[in-house]
Structure 1
Amino acid sequence: MLTRQGIVAAVAGVAALVIGRMFGVIELFVIGAGFLAAVVVALVFVSLRAPSVTGTRWIHPKVLVAGDVGRVDLQLTHHGVVRSTRFTLHERIGRTHAPENAARLGVEPMAARSQAGAGYRLPTSTRGLVHLGPLTSEVRDPLGIARRFRPVAGTDTVTVAPRAHLLDIPTLGSGPLGRQLMATARRLGPGEFHSLREYADGDEPRSIHWRASARSETLLVKEYAVEGLRRVLIVFDADLASYADAASFERGVTAAASLAKSAGAAGLTTRFVTNGGNDLRGPDVAEHALALLAEIQPTSAPFGQLDRDPGEGVGLLVVVTGTTRSAGWRAASSVVDPTLTVVPITTDEAPRGPVGAAARTEAELVSSWRAITGRGSGVAAHRKRHETTGAVPGEQFTAPTSSGAP
């Protein structure tokens, strides 16, 4: 096809021929013929010299996080039997809710049946999908009159997940949330017998192991293992009416992504629920939740059935919403499950209750969550603890109880 310069040359050539013929000006006739001859030669050049190149695209990493800079590497193979001319690669880059742009890469002449590499950086600023391709090659004649495009590679899609912070996992007895979880664990009853210890002031007499005490010089008290946090149910309210504005909604996405990532890193049994019937369970919930949150848009669709979670042991129900006055909060917090401790995370108001957190900024999300979990607890310590003990996810604490002896 002709470039803009080629179109001008062709029009000028035709005009010169016509005027030269009409007025018998041989010089104009020659000039017009020269212009048209240059156009024909340029078209023949790009037709014969267009490189026969195919390419493979490698994206690092496959899933990006908003704010990261990825890289796209291209492996090119020239199938022609003669050396190629210099050509340019064009890669279309389309982003969700953003203008389309393109990457342009110059490639030096390639030897016959050879390979070469090229690449470019892929910056990201917001979550969503980035559509790459198709990748095409462009060759031009030396005068820039004509050009020809050929396909090199197809299309690819890159998922840009929302930013996610690694949050502390609450431990029983640590911070306001940990103390509430401890109370829930004790209310649910003791676990397996753990050990005997000496009686201390405040222990209930019914916890004394009388037979063991008779063989000892002091009174001995039975201790039972109290299982720690084992599961988490994350509910993200995606109704825009629950938020003050779009920025507040995006902070909610970040909070939900942080919870899913942290729970998955700690090995907790995780369930992720949001509007429109999205209910993620089973293995790899964190990965699937991040992929879902990368594309999620506000919707007024209901949650679906938020029935009691069939999991066992102490759990968390964390509801991410704009305000505790929203319909989404009322629907999620109405779940009746004595094993779950409900924690609201609000993006438009201060923390509500002793175990509430706020995310009016990303920094506040981290600080308010640390405040309710207590400093010194974290994902790494949580994982290390149950790797050492071989227990199911969740710490084990011992507490005296009145249950029967082992």
Structure 2
Amino acid sequence: MSRLTRRGVVVLVLAVLLLTAGVLAGHPLLRALGGLCAGALVAAVALTARRPSVVVTREVYPDRVERGRPALARLLVRNQGQRHQPAFTAGDRLGEGVHDVRVNALPPGTEASYHYELPTQRRGRLPVGPLVLERTDPLGLARGRLTAGESATVWVHPRRHPLRLPARGTPRHHHEGRVAEDLHGSLDLREVREYQPGDEVRHLHWKAAARTGQLMVRQYADPDQPRLTLLLDTRSRSLTPAAFEEAVEVAASVLHAAALGGQRCRLVTSGGLDLSTSDGATAARRLLDELCELGQDQETALAPGALARARGGDGALVVVTGGSLDEAVLARLRGRYPATTVVALGVGAGRPVGRLIRAADAAEAVSQWNATPAGRR
């Protein structure tokens, strides 16, 4: 699509005035100037309306990155036509902004690549694309735009801090040391989920597959496998936006360490989110993806009903909340989860009391965790 620029609109108005004045006054010079302006406009529109004969692709890597870590985009432009391709501008949408890439002229059959950094300062899903190819005429009278390429997504995960999280529970199947992969096959059916490469074919759930139209597998859990539940306070009245970001970092650090350390994890929020996973790298990525988009809410209760009614002894519990502790709720949770650790953020540093850690930010909280019995149990 080709449109006139502001300069083009001015020239168009000038052409109309000159032609009108030339006709009314019978002055050939005015008509010639008006025709010259009109001809320049027609040539500009024709030039910018022509579709660039190039193939443009974009790659982003990595597709998942910690907040503040570098992520790059690679733009590959190839001229597959038989003509010389003039220069143009490719605008790549990055979230709410646009990054402009000046693509130089390309001879036939050649290609060029351009690299640029993606903004990863904010946690969340960063949509990248589509590309908008922009071309202008030499006089700047018209501009042509064309959408090209596919969109991509970069998951900007919360920042994680190195955290020591020991295993809990009894050994699994008399195995000593860490198990390299999930143990499946016990009679404890945990969930039915979509098939992923590497899953046991004998665990396929054919009835669910026929019902959903996708391959589904049964996922079993070993009852003796260590478990960790993390309750994240998402109430806006409990944590400021800045303190909430620190709380999300604490949650990411704990859950990532637990999943990679062989523990089944459960993420619960005040807003009602209840996500249970197995252990391993896939589970850690799933938890981080969920934390990537998590926001605050207007709930009043710290713990949802499902967590408050949980049976006692169901693994360890970590509560990440603000400085104003809800002692009544925490007392009930401690009665159901004997191994309960509370991390209170947004307050000045304080000396850890038992399993209570007070810290101003995530880095300080994790440092206290690693230095206290809460990080060695």
**Where on the TM-score scale, by shorter chain, does this alignment land: which range?**
0.7 to 0.9
* Residue among 268, 271, 276 paired with 1:273: 268
Distance 1:101 1:348, change over 3 A: closer
Q: Which runs of 5+ in 2 are unaligned?
A: 177-223
What SS is found at the alignment partner of 1:370? helix
Q: What is the Cα deviation at residue 264 of structure 1?
A: 2.3
Q: Contact 1:88–1:105 (CA<8 Å) still a contact in 2? A: yes
C-alpha distance in 1 between matches for 2:312 and 2:332: 16
In structure 2, the partner of 1:262 is 257
Alignment partner, residue 161 of structure 1 = 157
2:336 aligned counterpart, secondary structure: coil
Cα drift, residue 110 of structure 1: 2.1
Alignment of 1:30-49 (within 5 A): 30-48=32-50
2:287 counterpart of 1:292 = no
Please report how far the alpha carbon of residue 329 of structure 1 lies from its aligned counterpart in structure 2 after TM superposition.
5.0
For the Cα contact (< 8 Å) 1:277–1:304, is it kept in 2?
no
Offset, 1:148: 1.2
**Alignment deviations for residues 124-176 of structure 1 (CA, whole Å, 9 cap, x no partner):** 212112112210211221211122112221322211111111212248xxxxx
Aligned to 2:153, what secondary structure does the other structure show?
strand
Distance (Å, rounded) in 1 between the aligned partners of 2:339 and 2:85: 67
> Could you tell me how far apart the structure 1 residues matched to 2:64 and 2:327 are?
33
Q: Can you list the C-alpha shifts for 1:5-63, whole angstroms capped at 9, x where unaligned?
A: 11111111111111222223332222111111111111122234x31233222111101
Instruction: Classify 1:369/1:236 alpha carbon distance in 2 versus 1 (closer, same or farther; 3 Å).
Output: same
Q: CA deviation at 1:229?
A: 9.7
Match of 2:126 among 121, 124, 130: 130
The one-letter code matched in structure 2 to 1:316 is A
RMSD: 3.1
Question: Equivalent residues in 2 for 1:373-392 (5 A)?
Answer: 373=373
Contact 1:320/1:345 (<8 A) preserved: yes
Aligned to 2:362: 362
Say whether the 8 Å CA contact 1:344–1:352 is kept in structure 2. no
The match for 2:9 is 7
- Alpha-carbon distance in 2 for matches of 1:242, 1:73: 42
Provide, for residues 348-403 of structure 1, a one-character-per-residue CA deviation record: whole Å limited to 9, x for no partner. 3446631222231233212211221489x7xxxxxxxxxxxxxxxx9xxxxxxxxx
What's the CA shift for 1:291?
Answer: 1.0
Residues 1:252 and 2:250 aligned together: no
| Partner secondary structure for residue 111 of structure 1 | coil
2:97: which partner in 1?
Answer: 101
Is 1:235–2:220 an aligned residue pair?
A: no
Change (3 A) 1:319 1:287: same
1:97 is aligned to none
Structure 1 contact 90–135 (Cα < 8 Å) conserved: yes
Ranked by relative contact order (alpha carbons within 8 Å, sequence separation 6 or more), the top structure is 1
SS of 1:69's equivalent in the other structure is coil
| Alignment partners' CA distance in 2, 1:324 and 1:150 | 54
- Equivalences for residues 113-262 of structure 1 within 5 A: 113-170=109-166, 230-243=226-239, 245-262=240-257
1:224 equivalent in structure 2? none
Q: Residues 110 and 261 from structure 1, CA distance in 2 versus in 1: closer, same or farther, beyond 3 angstroms?
A: same
* Separation in structure 1 between the aligned mates of residue 153 and residue 364 of structure 2, nearest angstrom: 33
Alignment partner of 1:133: what SS?
A: strand
Structure ID, larger Rg: 1
- Cα distance 1:116–1:52, how it changes in 2: closer, same or farther (>3 A)? same
2:343 maps to which residue? Answer: 345
Could you say which residue in structure 2 is the equivalent of 1:18? 20
Give secondary structure in 2 for the equivalent of 1:165.
Answer: coil
* Native 8 Å contact 1:2 1:147 kept in 2: yes
Check conservation: 2:92, 2:130, Cα contact below 8 A: yes
Cα distance, 1:328 vs structure 2: 9.6
Counterpart AA for 2:365? L
- Counterpart CA distance in 2 for 1:309 and 1:160 is 35
Normalising by structure 1, we get a TM-score of 0.70
Determine the C-alpha separation between the residues in 1 that align with 2:40 and 2:87: 20
Distance 2:16 2:328 in 1: 70
1:242 is paired with a residue whose SS is coil
Count of aligned pairs: 316
Equivalent residues of 2:346, 2:361 under 8 A apart: no
The aligned amino acid for 2:123 is R
Question: Which TM-score applies when normalising by structure 2?
Answer: 0.74
Equivalent pair of 1:2/1:145 in contact (CA under 8 Å):
yes
Unaligned runs of 5+ in 1: 95-99, 172-180, 195-227, 378-393, 395-406
| Structure 2 CA distance for aligned equivalents of residues 239 and 27 of structure 1 | 74
d(CA) in 2 for partners of 1:153, 1:114:
19
Tell me if the contact between 1:324 and 1:344 (Cα under 8 Å) persists in the aligned partners.
Answer: no
Go from structure 1 to structure 2 and tell me whether the alpha carbon gap of 1:240 and 1:127 turns closer, same or farther (over 3 Å shift): same
CA distance in 1, matches of 2:227, 2:250: 18
Q: Deviations over 1:253-291 (max 9, x none)?
A: 111111112212323232222232322222433211211
The Cα shift of 1:113 comes to 4.3
Paired-residue identity, %: 29
